[in-house]
Amino acid sequence: MSGKIRAVLCGCGGICKAWLNPIAGFDDVEIVGLVDIKLENAEKIKQECKLEKAVTGTDLKKVLRKTKPDAVFDCTVPVAHPDVTITALKKGCHVLGEKPMAESMKAGQKMVKTAEDKKKIYSVIQNRRYLDNIVAYRDFIRSGEIGEITTLNGDFYIGAHFGGFRDVMKHVLLVDMAIHTFDQARFISGKDPVSVYCQEFNPKGSWYAHGASAVAIFEMTDGVVFTYRGSWCSEGINTSWECDWRTIGTKGTCTWDGGATIKGQAANADEGFIRAQKDFTVPVEKKIVHGGHAGVIRDFLDCVKNGGVPQTVCQDNIKSLAMVHAAVKSAETGKKVAIKV
């Protein structure tokens, strides 16, 4: 397509400026509408982001009729994603939406099917793939220096006091946050999920209503085991939002603290109780032009304009969603759960 991509943003809450700030720097996209069930939220964003020409409203269908956009950006709360996305796809719009796709697998599958039926792109924000550090970590692990991957650990410990929908949400850590870590595990390892056993709990002192902590063991393809330990109500010595990672291969190990530090080590002797080790330096090159949200949005806009498939398209992202919902099912049943997409 030629000309500017005309887009309506739905859900003018906490996250929407992480979208609108980079969008303001792209000259091939224009926000033509702002929707929120609370009109005052849409009006506030219209004013603060100087989007004078944007139509505002509380009813997505009406705003779509008025503005006839090419794309809808879904920044609503997780429970609203299926309705917003399916409404937009049925009106002929491409959709880029916040994670997680949906609060159930059935709803996620319906979203994928609607995108396919309507021949539109539906892609999901997984901003943690668009960082130089994770790309450097993945590339080093895939280079073969530590051999074939056997084991992956991801730790997430943050004491986050949000207020709002998360305080009352069921399975809050698994559904609203762990999707990032599970998607990162797929990105780093290149493996897909096979099964999971998960124990979820809401620790003493938690300020959430349900499921602020979880431990999960995933079997991935090629026999790789990925363990996840996470909490959203853990005060002190927090990890980064990108998690603390350890990847073990047949020859060595590589860790990443989720920030600037990546360390690699592998055995360089054939004898000895503990083998002598050699250290690797893992350089982080500045390769990514647009990082985080800006990167996912840029990828989506390029595919809408020129054709192509965004990295986080729903047909791929549903595999990360399947990890979330299988973990929830395992936590609810106390059983190991096979993962099917």
Ligand X SMILES: NC(=O)c1ccc[n+]([C@@H]2O[C@H](COP(=O)([O-])OP(=O)(O)OC[C@H]3O[C@@H](n4cnc5c(N)ncnc54)[C@H](O)[C@@H]3O)[C@@H](O)[C@H]2O)c1
Q: In the bound complex, what is the minimum distance in angstroms from residue 99's beta carbon to ligand X?
A: 6
Residues 182-241 contacting ligand X, CB under 6 A: none
Partner residues linked to 195 by β-bridges: 219, 338
Mind giving me the DSSP string for 4-30?
PEEEEEE--STTHHHHHHHHHT-TTEE
Q: In the bound complex, what is the minimum distance in angstroms from residue 13's beta carbon to ligand X?
A: 2
Among 31, 80, 322, 339, binds ligand X (CB under 6 A): 80
| Residue 68 CB contacts under 8 Å (≥ 6 apart), including other chains | 6
Among 98, 103, 242, 316, binds ligand X (CB under 6 A): 98
Q: Give the C-alpha separation, 81 to 101, whole Å.
A: 6
- Other C-beta atoms within 10 Å of 64: how many? 23
Counting beta carbons within 10 angstroms of the beta carbon of residue 53, is it exposed (0 to 12), middle (13 to 18) or buried (19 or more)?
exposed
Among 49, 72, 94, 99, binds ligand X (CB under 6 A): 99
- The values of phi and psi at residue 16, to 5°, are -65, -25
Distances (CA, A) of 224 to 150, 217, 250, 299: 5, 11, 11, 30
Binding of ligand X by 10 (CB under 6 A): yes
Among 9, 23, 72, 77, binds ligand X (CB under 6 A): 77
Contact window for ligand X (CB under 6 A) among 6-14, 110-118, 303-311, 314-322: 6-14
Distances (CA, A) of 31 to 53, 86, 87, 298: 8, 20, 18, 15
Contact window for ligand X (CB under 6 A) among 30-38, 252-260, 321-329, 330-338: 30-38
Among 1, 14, 308, 336, binds ligand X (CB under 6 A): 14
Residue nearest to ligand X (CB): 13
Among 20, 36, 254, 324, binds ligand X (CB under 6 A): 36
- The values of phi and psi at residue 231, to 5°, are -155, 140
Q: In the bound complex, what is the minimum distance in angstroms from residue 11's beta carbon to ligand X?
A: 3
Binding of ligand X by 15 (CB under 6 A): yes
- Name which of 33 and 264 has its Cβ closer to ligand X: 33
Q: Which amino acid is at 325?
A: H
Which chain residues interact with ligand X by CB under 6 A?
10-15, 35-38, 41, 75-78, 80, 84, 98-99, 125, 127, 164-165, 176
